[in-house]
Every structure is written in C-alpha cells, then in structure tokens.
Amino acid sequence: MNPTAPAARLVLENGTEVRGTSFGARTDRFGELVFNTSMTGYQEILSDPSYCRQTIIFTYPHIGNYGVNEEDMESRLLHVTGMVCREVSKTVSNWRATHSLPDFLKKHNIPGIEGVDTRFLTLAIRNEGAMRCLITHDMDTPVAELVQKIKESPDMVGADLASEVTTRESYVYKPDHQLSGYDQNGQPDTRFRVVAIDYGIKQNILRILNQTGCEVTVLPSSASLEEIRSYQPQGVFLSNGPGDPAAVTYTIPVVKELIESGIPVFGICLGHQIAALALGAKTYKLKFGHRGGNHPVKNLKTGAIEITAQNHGFAVDTDSLPSGVELTHLNLNDQTVEGIRHRTLPFFSVQYHPEASPGPHDSHYLFRDFISLMKDRMVPA
C-alpha cells in the first residue's frame, strides 16, 4: 500500500464504510459488491463480461504480482465497476506482462481500493447477502447521503445486462492463439457448424469450442430464430453472461423453439438459466452467489466430484424443474442446481464454467459431449 496515494472509501447500502487507498482510475462508481475466492486469474475475472455492474472483492490478500497481458483478456472491454483488495502489487514479475494491474484498471477507467479489511467485507456479504456499493474519492460527504444515492442505483434483480455486453454484429470466430493448457488430442477430423448466442461470452469458451472441432458464428443475444436457422447450424451454444435471466425475455422463446426443434443445444451459466426458463423452470437470486475456482460439484450420472470455476448470482429452482428435465449436477456446498439435461431432446447445460479460465479443467469433457450430440445427428454427405 502506498501511503502517498490518494484516499478512497467504500460505502455499502447497509451503511458500512471502509476507508483505504485508491489505485486505478480516480472515478466514483456504483455497483453490486461481490467476492471471488480465486488466488490467481484476476485478469480473466476482471475482463469476464459476467461481472457487468459488479465491484469485486478479491479475498486473496495480495493481487497483481504477475501483471496483465493482452492474450489473457476474456473480452475487449472491462464491465466491472470496481476492485477491492487487501494489497495490490505495483511491480510486475512476468515476461508476458504488458501492464501493471493498477495501470490496467486506469486504462479502462475502473477504480480500485486497497488497504481494507477484505475478510470483514466478505463476511458481511456472506451474512447479509450481496449488496450495492459505491467506491468514492469524496472523503467528506456524510455516509447517510451516499447510502441514499446507493439505494437509488440500479438493482441486479430485473436487470437485462446481456443486451449491454453482447456483440452488436454477428461474426465468425477466428482464434488468435491456441490454448496450451487444453488437451485437444490432435486436430479433429470433422468441423461442426455452431452458432453461439452471445450473452457475454468469454474468449476462452470460443477457443475451446474451436479446438474441439467447431466452426463458430457468434450472434447477438437478440438473434431471432430465423437468423439463427439461416446459418444452418449443427449445434447451438448458449453462453455465459451477467444479470437476471428472467429479464432477458426476448431470447427465452427463441431458446424454447431451438430446444424443441431437436438441434443439439449446450448452455452454460446465464445460458443454462435461460434454457431452464425456456423449459418451464424458474430462477431466483442467490444470497451471495458462487464466485471462485474451487466449487465442488457432483456429477449425478458418474458419481464423480468435479472441482469447478463459478461466477453467478442467480440459480435454477430445483423444485420447478419439469418432468422432462433431469438434474445432472449438484453443488455440494449448498445443494443448488449445477446441471440439467432433457430426457428426450439433445439438450444439456451447466451452471458453472467448464472452460475455467481461470480454474480447474475437470469439466472440459462437456465440450466433447456437445460434439458427440452433433455427431449423433450428422446427415451423411
């Protein structure tokens, strides 16, 4: 922590105030305060569009020592509203780094605050739930006035954020580099035409789809059924993304028709929640969400325990699953839904991030399962 750096404070909507030191951009931002327990991967986390309108507490005490580089970006822009940590590294020790973390945040106009008790803040969220907050450099305005402004800021419930982070135009994905940590078992012989609906898609999802054998066309979240079908896809991928799935009303009937048409569909994160809604299930907001790289999930088919990377604040209601939908994966921490599949149609989805980035690779097999669904429905040439 730099004693000569300007002061900043973090104010929560329950009236809690903590004071610390500013880094990154000197700007004031409102957001939903959440915590992530990952020890590494801060760049991928900060550039994940699923964190749109959220201020992230990193529970690991020292963040930033390996810097930031262009290759590890999960999206071109940062959609987070702030970063909170115990101590941020101003020096960098990594040959790949092009920026320090503070300079990176400053470049993207994102404020950060360090020198605060992150354990205290994390416990507050765990006990009271995720809440709105403000990072400010105004050290004089009374907390009560700031709390009133925080309560007037947008809430996550009812927020369609997919429309904010989605691509504005369709494009064919062309890989910028290969994933050295991904075992692709050689180049696949067959390439499958896949349409990915972008609700806030991460670059590493696209890379893994490509390396698994998919030619991916990415469409906006507002894509119509006719537009999707015009690409004659052999499979459809429903991506991750931010916000309340129930608010993305325009895509739910589209996904419903896709699943019922019999085309293979694979969804993750927000895509999983949207698909569940399309099938007749319900979603709800979790108290403080799941965000980190070590969440245990049980595969109910194999009995295997998979360690997974997660980032979500909403979940599918187990009791609302219709009879045609089977629960496939279960969170061992709180028994929430982590995966479903249709009993007769070629559809499955998971709540967590099988691509990790950052995180364990226990669930990469799901991409191969998607390929298998498409292979089973191939039309001979």
Instruction: Kindly report, residue by residue over 32-86, the tens digit of the pLDDT.
Output: 999 999 999 999 999 999 999 999 999 999 999 999 999 999 999 999 999 999 9
Tokens found for residue 364: 């990469």
Angle at alpha carbon of residue 8, lines to 100 and 29, rounded to 5°: 80
Q: Do 119 and 186 fall into the same domain?
A: no
**How many separate domains does the chain show?**
2
Exactly one of 13, 85, 269, 312 is catalytic; which is it? Answer: 269
Q: Do 179 and 313 fall into the same domain?
A: yes
Helix ranges (H only) for 184-269 are 203-212, 225-230, 252-261
Q: Do 110 and 177 fall into the same domain?
A: no
Chosen domain end from 98, 121, 151: 151
Q: Do 103 and 190 fall into the same domain?
A: no
What pLDDT sits at residue 241? Answer: 98
Residue in 378, 361, 345, 365 with CA at minimum distance from that of residue 275: 345
355 is catalytic: yes
Residue in 340, 352, 360 with CA at minimum distance from that of residue 294: 360
**Cβ–Cβ < 8 Å for 92, 66:** yes
What pLDDT sits at residue 187? Answer: 53
For the stretch 298-301, contacts whose Cβ atoms lie closer than 8 Å and that sit 24 or more positions apart, written own/partner, are 298/329, 298/330, 298/332, 299/328, 299/329, 299/339, 300/327, 300/328, 300/329, 300/330, 301/328
Section 338-349 average pLDDT:
98
- Residue 1: inside a domain, yes or no? no
Q: Residue 319 carries which DSSP code?
A: G
269 is catalytic: yes
Give the chain's mean pLDDT. 94
Q: Do 172 and 142 fall into the same domain?
A: no
What pLDDT sits at residue 44? Answer: 96
Is pLDDT above 90 for 223? Answer: yes
Q: Do 84 and 206 fall into the same domain?
A: no
Q: Do 167 and 145 fall into the same domain?
A: no
Instruction: Write out the residue range of the structural domain in which residue 18 sits.
Output: 7-151
Q: Do 113 and 235 fall into the same domain?
A: no
353 is catalytic: yes
Q: What is the pTM of this model?
A: 0.94
